[in-house]
Amino acid sequence: MNYGKDERIVLTLDAGGTNFVFSAIKGNEEIVDQVVLPPYGNDLLKSVQSIKNGFEEIKSKLKQKPDAISFAFPGPADYQKGIIGDLGNLPGYRNGVPLGPILKNHFKLPVFINNDGDLYAYGEAIAGYLPNINNILQESGSVKRYKNLIGFTLGTGFGSGIVINNNLLIGDNSNAGEVWLLRSKVNPKVNAEESISIRAVKKFYSEKSGIKFNDSPGPKVIYEIAAGKVAGNKKAAIRAYKKMGEALGDTIANVLTVIDGIAVIGGGIAAASLLFMPALIDELNSKFILENGIEINRLDMKAFNLEDEDDLKKFIKDEDREITVPGSNEKIIYNPLKKTGVGISKIGTSKAISIGAYAFALNLLDR
């Protein structure tokens, strides 16, 4: 599925608790300057009007009529019906708000809404990390190609989306890929998001440096402390990201066990990948120890850090060998090493979400 040369235009929105960012996509590329408006998260009427204003301003910049509206919006929601549920970061949305029908009636266009994690993964699968890694494999002469991708977003929350053979996994309740509700390895009493998010990094740093949570700096400063760029408890900063990496690695391992593919990470905390990726990969390649003392691999695949040059070389190298079919002279190629990889977004989270929203809309229109 490639909409890179498609002439249709889709209006998009990346809706967060801080800003509403509007744009328009054509052929997988933004064709206008973004419009940023306040969300007015505590006032439903003002918030909906802000959405209308944003799309109207984007529409006024276009030379042709748009074909659809498609955007990411926080859940819980019934995305197929365009109904938004009770939102934590936009408290004005309560008791079921039919945002999709409101916009459809106003703009007289098809309206598609989905989770940001889902659209992020879809964008990475169509025009981001998945085609990128397959191009690298092709250029190296490898016969291996990947068709499945799990996208993870690290920020205020912990999100995910799953794409299987170019198809976005939605689920019967629009709830597929809700990885934030998996159990945390580092604290089994809580969900994974409490160990993989902005507040998690702050919490780990505060615990390991002996300061109060409210006195802890944000992840960006903690990263700079770990890098020795600013003053602070360097050892605690390094250990904070290592602990998050361990928790993230465990969650990714759980998902990869079910969805056999590769993983890509986006979101603001992804910028600190140098600190958390080693612990993440170590967790993926760790072992279970059975009651009889026998060790078995955490995954049935060997995991590689695709941001590391040496690991990438090992990942793209074919391990094929020729074996003979017993009782005949027939020879076939066998690759005994199963591989998976984890990388960091190359196109950026916001662009991936926009491309995902674009492709999601056109795919449904084409159906």
Best CA proximity match to 274, nearest among 230, 313, 237, 232: 237
Q: Please report whether residue 121 resides in a domain.
A: no
Same domain, 179 and 226: yes
The answer to whether the beta carbons of residues 39 and 47 sit under 8 Å apart is yes
Same domain, 89 and 142: no
Residues 6+ apart with CB under 8 A from 51: 13, 15, 20, 99, 103
The answer to whether the beta carbons of residues 354 and 123 sit under 8 Å apart is yes
Same domain, 206 and 329: yes
pLDDT of residue 186: 92
Q: Please report whether residue 312 resides in a domain.
A: yes
Q: Where are the alpha helices (DSSP H) in the chain?
A: 44-60, 99-107, 116-127, 129-139, 198-209, 219-226, 234-258, 273-284, 309-316, 349-366
Q: Please report whether residue 124 resides in a domain.
A: no
Residue 103, domain extent: 9-115
Q: Tell me the three state secondary structure of residue 341.
A: strand
pLDDT of residue 88: 77
pLDDT of residue 1: 62
pTM of the shown model: 0.91
The answer to whether the beta carbons of residues 154 and 161 sit under 8 Å apart is no
Running along the chain, 367 residues long, what does each successive block of 10 average in pLDDT?
A: 86 85 92 93 94 97 96 87 86 92 97 94 94 96 94 93 94 89 95 96 96 96 96 97 98 97 96 97 97 95 97 91 89 89 94 92 90
Q: How far apart are CA 202 and CA 220, in angstroms?
A: 10
CATH number at residue 254: 3.30.420.40
In this structure, what are the phi and psi dihedrals at residue 284, rounded to the nearest 5 degrees? Answer: -60, -35
Length of the chain: 367
The residue type found at 114 is N
Same domain, 70 and 144: no
Q: Please report whether residue 80 resides in a domain.
A: yes
pLDDT of residue 147: 97
Domain tally, the chain: 2
Q: Please report whether residue 362 resides in a domain.
A: no
Residues 6+ apart with CB under 8 A from 294: none
Q: How far apart are CA 252 and CA 256, in angstroms?
A: 6
Same domain, 147 and 196: yes
Domain boundary among 60, 83, 115: 115
pLDDT of residue 77: 87
